[in-house]
Structure 1
Amino acid sequence: MIRLNGGAGTRAGLFCIGLLMLFVAGCASQNAGPGTAGGEARLSPADAAQRAADQGDYAEAAARYGEAAGRTTNADTQRMYRLEAGLAAAQAGDVQTARQMLASLDPSTLGPVDHARYNLAQREIAIADMAPGKALANLPPPAKNTAPAVAERVWEKRAQIQFSANRPVEGIAALVQRGAWLERQTAVQANDERTYDAAADAIGLGIGPDSTDAANADDTVRGWLALADIGQRAFSDRSQRDDALAEWQQTYRGHPANRFVLADQFDYQGTMAVQPVTRGGVNTAGSAAAKPSSDQVALALPMSGAFKNAAGAIRDGFTFAYRNNTGGLPSPISYDSSNLNAQALAQRAENDGIGILVGPLDKDKVAAMARQQLPMPEIGLNTIDEPVRRDGFYQFGLDPADEAASAARHAVDEGDRNAIALVPQGDWGDRVLDGFRDALNAESGQLVDYRTYNSDTHDHSQAIQAVLGRGNQANADVIFVAGQPTQARLIRSQLKYYHAGDLPMVTTSHAYAGQPDPDSDIDLNGVNFVDMPWVLGNGGTIARLRQEAASTYGSSATDYARLFAMGMDAWVLARRVAKAELSADEPLEGMTGVLAPRSDGHITRYLGWAVFRNGRPQTLSMPSTADVRAMPSSRAPSRGSDYRTNTAPTQGNVGAGLN
C-alpha cells in the first residue's frame, strides 16, 4: 500500500499528548532559543513546522506549531500557531488534537481565507472515519475560484485518501493538482519530490504508464510514472540513461519534473521550460466536454421488483412535466432497468442514439453507471458515496443529507447555533447526521453531542437521557431529530416527559407523511421541518399543477407526491442539459426545491421551512433562486466544491420551470 507521510492515521493520536506537553513546556521556557545540535535543531519551531508540512509530515508540523504557540507571548501570534497546529493535525488524521486546537479558537475572528481553512479542517475531521469512497464524495475537488491556500489542502487530503485506498494513479493525479495551487517554491519542490516518490512506489507495484491502472490518466501523471520507471531501470552507463531521459523529455514536453526532479534525482541538467498544469478538478462531472449527440431523452427505471411503485411515480411525474413543457424535444423513451446491468443499459442507450440518459434509480446501479465511459450526459436518480470521474454525469435524488443541511441553515437563521441530535442507527442516520453537522460547522455552529436510537423500538428513553445529559440540554439551543413520522412523534413526546419540551426541535421532511393528519401530528406541535415546494406550496402554479396531477395520475401523484415531484424535476434537468442551460452554481426553481448544480455534478436542493401548528403544517418560507444566488459564500452547501467561507432561501415563485 502506498501512503504519504502524514496520511490519515499516520501517528494519529500518538502525538496528541506530546503536542500538549510541548505547548506547556514552551510556555515555561518562552525565552529559551532553539537548540544548536545540528541543522534541524537550529530551525525555529515555526520554520520546522512549515518544512514538515511542505514534506507532507503533518503530524510533525502539528507538534512543531504547538511548540511555537507555547513559545510566543503575543496573543495574535499564539492564536495563529494554534490554528496552524489544528489544521496540520486535521491533515494528519489526528482528530483528537485537531479538535482540541480548533476548539480554542473563535472562528468569527478569522479572516476569509483562514475561516475557509478552518471550515475545511472541520470537514476533514468529519470524514476521518469514513470509507475512502464516501470521504472523497464529501471532499469534492475545489472550484477554480477557491483560495490557493484552501485548494492545495483539499488536493493534499484527496491524495492521502487515494493512496490509503490503494489507488496510486489517482493519488499522483491529486498531487499534480496540488502542485498547480502551491505558491511557495520550496513547497512546489517538496511536492514534486513526493510525487516522484509516489510514482516510484507505483512502479514497484507494477503500475507503469502503460498499465491498465493508468489507462485514463493524463499525460502529466503518465509522465511521472514513465520517469520513475527510468529511475528504477538498470543502464549500462550514464549516457544510456541520459538518452532515455532525453527521449522522456520529448515524449512529455514541459513536464513538471523538469523543475527540480531531473536535477535532484538524476543529476540531469538538460531541463526545459515547464508547461503549467491547469488548475481545476480531475474529470469533474457536468463539464462542457460531454454534450448531447441528439435531442432524444431516455428514462431508465426499475418498473418491476421492489422499486416499481417508486419508479412508477417518478415516471408519471417525468411524463407530466414533459407534457407541460416539452422544450421542443421528442417524446422520451422509457427503459425498464430492472434486469439491465450498467453495461447493458449503456450499450442499449448508445445503440438507440440516446442524447441524454435519465436514471437508473437504485444506488448500486447509479454507481456502476458512473464508472461507465458513455459519450452522453446522464442524470443518475440517486446520490452515491464515491468520486465520479466521468464528464457530464449528474447526481439528482431526494438526498436526506441535503434536507439535514437545510434544517441546520434554517436553525441558525433562528439564532440556534448549538445543537444536539438524535438520529436512527445505520447508514441512513449517519448520512443525515453528516449533512446536519457539516452545514452547522459551515455556519460556525456546533454539534454539542448526538446519540443514535433503535428505530425498531418505541422506547427511546436511554438515547434521550444520554443526549440531554452532561449539561448538554443547558448548552443546546436546538435539538435535531431525524426519523419517520411515528418515531418523530414518539421522540417529541418523550422529550417533553424528560422536561425538554421547551427545547426547539427541527427535523426533515421524513417526519411528515406528506398529507395533513392533525390527530396524529398534534404531538409535533411547534416542531420545525424542511420540505419541498411541491408539498408546502399553497396557491398559484403549484396548487394548479398538483390538482392536475392528482386528476390525471391519481394515487401516483398523491400517495407518492415527493417521488412524483422528483420525476418532474428530472425532466426539467434533462431539458436544461439538452439546451446547454444547466451550469454549475446557477440555481433553478424546481418542485423538490431550488436546484443548485455543483461542479462535481451533484444537484443540491434548497427546501422550504414549515412548522406544525394544531397538528397541521404551516409554511413559513419558500426557497427562491434569487436567495440561493445571493447567499454569502459561507452558506455554501456541504457538498459544494468552492470551500469558500454561506442565508437560506426564503421566498419565491416556484414552478416557473414547467411554464
Structure 2
Amino acid sequence: MNRWGEICGVLLLATVAGCATPVKETPPLGIPETVDLERARALENEGDLLGAARQYLGLAREADNLETRFELTLQAGELLIRAGELSTADQVLQQLKPPAPTPLLEFSLRLAVGDLALKRSRAELALQQLTMPEPGTRLTQALMLRLHRLRAEAYALSGNALEAANELLLLEGLLVDNAVIADNQALILQTLSPLTDQALEQMQVLAPDVLAGWLELTRIAKAPSGSAQFQRSITEWRARFPDHPVLPQTIDRLRARLAVEPLRPTQVAVLLPSTGPFAEPAIAVRDGLLTAFYSDTYPERPILRFYDVAADGSNAVVTLQQAVAEGAQLIVGPLSKNAVTAVARSDALPVPVLALNQAELADTVPLPTNLYQFGLPPEAEARQAAERAWIEGHTRALILVPDGLWGSRIATSFRERWEALGGIVLEQQSYDSTKNDYSNPIKALFDLNESETRRTNLRRTLGTEIKFEPRRRQDVDVLFLGAFPRQARQIRPQLKFHHARDVPVIATSHIFTGKVDRAADRDMDDLLFGDTPWTLGVERATVIQRTQIAKAWPEAQERFSRLYAMGFDAYRLIPYLEWLQTYPEERYEGETGQISIDERGRIHRRLAWARFRQGAPDLIGFAPTLIDGRPVAEEPQQETPAVVPASNPS
C-alpha cells in the first residue's frame, strides 16, 4: 500500500500517521516596491512561494476594494503555509477579517487556519475550523475537495482512522480522473491499516457496504501471502462485495506488493547467552520465541537450533559462522549490544540476521546486507513521548529524569525530537533514584525555590511571620518523566504536593511494571505512557498465545513481559523481513508495537498508549507517527470550476 507521501504530485494528502512541518521563524516579509498580479502568478508557478506571497501582500496593500484586499492577503497566507513559513503565515492570517458577513470568504479563511493548525500537528484545533458549511452554501468543487482532504488529515492525525477514511470516501465522490481516484483509494487503505484485525472485523458489522468492503480489503492487505493465496483472497472478497467501486489499478497495486512469497527458512539458528548479565533476559526472549514457534500453524515449521553466545560479543561472529556451516538459513540474535556491534562490523553476512539489539555505530557507517536490528531502545520511546505530547497540544515542556547515563540518553532524545517539532524545553532536572525524597529537583523545575526566597525576603523586610503558599511557574503545559515504577509512584504524589497536580505528565513504558496493581499505582492516575501492545493487552489474534504464556511462564506478565513479546515477534517477523524492508511504509501488527523496517534494516516500533485510571492502565490506542515535511493535496484540474452545494456527510 502506498504511503501518503508517495502520492505527492497527484493526490497529496498528509500521511495517516500524520506529519509535522518544522516551524521556521522568519523576519517580517519585505514587500517589493513594484508589484504585479501576473508577476505574482509567475513566481507561484516557478515555485518561488515567498516571492509570490510578497507580491500578493503588496497588491493587497494597494487594493481599494476590501474584498479584493482580503482575497489577496489570504492567498499570501496560504502560500506562506505551503512554504513552511508558519509563524509569518500565522501573523498574516490573524489580521484577516472578512469585510462583510460573507459565508464563502469566512469559509476560505477557516480552511487556511485549519491547514495551518495541521501543519503544526494540531488536529483538535484544525477540526474546530474545518466544520462542514451550512447546508445550501454553494462552494466550488476545489473548496469541497480541500475541505474533505484536510478533514481526512485531521482525523488521521487525531488517530480516528475510520472518520479519516469516511472523508476520503466523500472526497472520492468529487474526483473524476481514474489515476487520482486510484491514488485516493491507496490512501484509504493506508488510512485504515493501523487498525487491528479484530477492529477491522468488528467495524464491518455496522459499516455500509462500501466501507465494509474497504475494511475487509485492508485486512487482506496487511501482509504478503504469496500470489496464489492473494488471488484466492481477492476472489472471495469480490464474491462478498460484487459492486464495490475499487478500481482494477488498486487491486493490481496490491497484487504487486502482496503477491510476494514469504521468507520460509528450513533451519533457524538462535544465538543467545546462557550466562552473564543477559542470561535471564535471554531466557525470556527464548520462551517467547518458542511460544510463537509452537503456535505456528504453517505446516512446515523450521528446525530451531540454539547456540550460546558470550555477552561481551567475543564469539558472536564465530558462532554465527558455525551456525551457517551447520545449515542455518536465518539467524535470530545475538542479544547484547556488544555482540550485535561485532556482527554489524562484518564485511558480509551469508544469511539474514535478525539481531535482538542495535549496534553502537554511527549512521554513516555502512552495514552488511542481510542485517536487521530489533530492540527495545528507551531513546525511541522518549522520541515517541515527545510526539505524543505534541499531538496532545502541548508546546512548553519540563524534563525530569534520573541521574546517570540512562536518564541523560532519554532526556536528550526527548529534547531533540521536541525541539525539532517546534516545542520549547523550559527546564531540565535530574534526581537521585536511590532516594525517596525528590523535593529539590521538583522545586527547581517549577521555580518554587524562587517563590520561597521571595517569602524569606518579605518576612525579613516586614519583621513578622506572614501567611504564605508557594506559587509554581505557570508557563509549563507538560512534564516528561523518566522513571521506573518505584520512583514514579513516589514522584507523582510529590508533584501534587508541590502544586503541580494539574500539569500533564507523559512517560515511557518503564514506569509500569507490566502487572496491574491498583493499590501500588493509586497515585499514578492521569499519567500518560507508551508501552507494548502485549503489556497493555491490546486485542490481537495472538490473545490465546498471551494466555498460554501467562500459564506457562508467569513472569511474562511482570518483569519480562516486554522481552517475551520481543521473542514472540522475532519469530513471527521472519517471513516478512525482506518485504518490510522493501516497503518501509508497511506495518506488521506485532506484540511489541506496529513494526516497520527502514532501509538500513533497523526495526521501528509504534507503541500503544494508555493513561492510568483508578490505578490501572486505560488503553487509548496507537498514536500517529509525525514525520518532517507534510505533503499537501492537489485538486483535480477543472476547465470550469464547478459549484457544489454543501451537504453534511452521511
> Could you state the TM-score of these two structures normalised by the residue count of structure 2?
0.51
| Residues 92-133 of structure 1 deviation map (CA, whole Å, 9 limit, x = unaligned) | xxxxxxxx99x9999x999x9xx99xxxxxxxxxxxxxxxxx
Note the C-alpha offset of 1:548.
0.9
Partner of 2:402: 424
Partner of 2:339: 365
Note the C-alpha offset of 1:499.
0.6
Residue identity in the other structure for 1:487: Q
| Residues 430-474 of structure 1 deviation map (CA, whole Å, 9 limit, x = unaligned) | 3322443344345x4413234242343333223222222399942
Note the C-alpha offset of 1:563.
0.8
- Indicate conservation of the 8 Å contact 2:320/2:331, yes or no: no
Partner of 1:306: 277
Mapped partners of 1:579, 1:352: distance in 2: 26
Partner of 2:267: 296
Q: 1:383 to 1:446 in 2, by over 3 A?
A: same
User: Which one of 438, 442, 448 corresponds to residue 425 of structure 2?
Assistant: 448
User: Which one of 334, 356, 359 corresponds to residue 381 of structure 1?
Assistant: 356
Partner of 2:599: 599
Q: 1:455 to 1:321 in 2, by over 3 A?
A: farther
Q: 1:441 to 1:305 in 2, by over 3 A?
A: same
Mapped partners of 1:594, 1:484: distance in 2: 24
Partner of 2:304: 332
Mapped partners of 1:578, 1:600: distance in 2: 12
**SS of the residue 1:610 aligns to:** strand
Mapped partners of 2:530, 2:284: distance in 1: 22
Deviates more, 1:578-587 or 1:306-315: 578-587
**SS of the residue 1:518 aligns to:** coil
Partner of 2:290: 319
**SS of the residue 1:374 aligns to:** coil
| Residues 45-78 of structure 1 deviation map (CA, whole Å, 9 limit, x = unaligned) | xxxxxxxxxxxxxxxxxxxxxxxx9xxx99999x
Partner of 1:480: 480
Mapped partners of 1:448, 1:330: distance in 2: 50
**SS of the residue 1:480 aligns to:** strand
| Residues 556-611 of structure 1 deviation map (CA, whole Å, 9 limit, x = unaligned) | 56541111111001111223237888742210101111112122222111112212
| Residues 107-165 of structure 1 deviation map (CA, whole Å, 9 limit, x = unaligned) | x999x9xx99xxxxxxxxxxxxxxxxxxxxxxxxxxxxxxxxxxxxxxxxxxxxxxxxx
Q: 1:336 to 1:526 in 2, by over 3 A?
A: same
Mapped partners of 2:315, 2:536: distance in 1: 37
Matched, 1:398 2:369: no
Q: 1:561 to 1:382 in 2, by over 3 A?
A: same
Mapped partners of 2:490, 2:92: distance in 1: 38
> Could you state the TM-score of these two structures normalised by the residue count of structure 1?
0.51
Matched, 1:356 2:312: no
Q: Summarize the alignment of residues 148-227 of structure 1 with structure 2, pairs less than 5 Å apart.
A: none
Partner of 1:508: 508
| Residues 147-186 of structure 1 deviation map (CA, whole Å, 9 limit, x = unaligned) | xxxxxxxxxxxxxxxxxxxxxxxxxxxxxxxxxxxxxxxx
- Indicate conservation of the 8 Å contact 1:611/1:619, yes or no: yes
Q: 1:502 to 1:331 in 2, by over 3 A?
A: same
Note the C-alpha offset of 1:322.
1.2
Mapped partners of 2:556, 2:423: distance in 1: 40
- Higher RCO (C-alpha 8 Å, min separation 6): 2
Q: 1:504 to 1:293 in 2, by over 3 A?
A: closer
Aligned residues: 408
Partner of 2:108: none
Mapped partners of 1:325, 1:349: distance in 2: 23
- Indicate conservation of the 8 Å contact 1:636/1:644, yes or no: no
User: Which one of 303, 321, 326 corresponds to residue 347 of structure 1?
Assistant: 321
Partner of 1:608: 608
Partner of 1:622: 621
Mapped partners of 1:500, 1:580: distance in 2: 44
* Sequence identity (%): 33
Residue identity in the other structure for 1:569: D
Mapped partners of 1:399, 1:464: distance in 2: 26
| Residues 609-639 of structure 1 deviation map (CA, whole Å, 9 limit, x = unaligned) | 2122222x2323233xxxx8xxxxxx6467x
Partner of 2:243: none
Note the C-alpha offset of 1:416.
2.4
Mapped partners of 2:592, 2:264: distance in 1: 28
**SS of the residue 2:585 aligns to:** coil
**SS of the residue 1:519 aligns to:** coil
Matched, 1:571 2:548: no
Mapped partners of 1:579, 1:644: distance in 2: 25
Note the C-alpha offset of 1:340.
5.0
Mapped partners of 1:308, 1:603: distance in 2: 23
Residue identity in the other structure for 1:424: P
- Indicate conservation of the 8 Å contact 1:293/1:376, yes or no: no
Q: Which stretches in structure 2 are left out of the alignment for 5+ residues?
A: 1-26, 34-53, 60-72, 94-110, 120-261, 451-470, 633-650
- Indicate conservation of the 8 Å contact 1:320/1:568, yes or no: yes
Partner of 1:409: 387
Deviates more, 1:486-495 or 1:355-364: 486-495
Q: 1:535 to 1:498 in 2, by over 3 A?
A: same
- Indicate conservation of the 8 Å contact 2:263/2:576, yes or no: no
- Indicate conservation of the 8 Å contact 1:292/1:356, yes or no: no
- Indicate conservation of the 8 Å contact 1:317/1:565, yes or no: yes
Mapped partners of 2:304, 2:92: distance in 1: 55
- Indicate conservation of the 8 Å contact 1:407/1:436, yes or no: yes
**SS of the residue 2:499 aligns to:** coil
Deviates more, 1:293-302 or 1:584-593: 293-302
Q: Summarize the alignment of residues 251-266 of structure 1 with structure 2, pairs less than 5 Å apart.
A: none
Note the C-alpha offset of 1:507.
0.9
- Indicate conservation of the 8 Å contact 1:455/1:487, yes or no: no
Mapped partners of 1:544, 1:480: distance in 2: 35
Q: 1:553 to 1:422 in 2, by over 3 A?
A: same
- Indicate conservation of the 8 Å contact 2:528/2:609, yes or no: yes
- Indicate conservation of the 8 Å contact 1:303/1:311, yes or no: yes
Residue identity in the other structure for 2:592: T
Q: 1:463 to 1:565 in 2, by over 3 A?
A: same
Mapped partners of 1:427, 1:501: distance in 2: 29
Matched, 1:461 2:439: yes
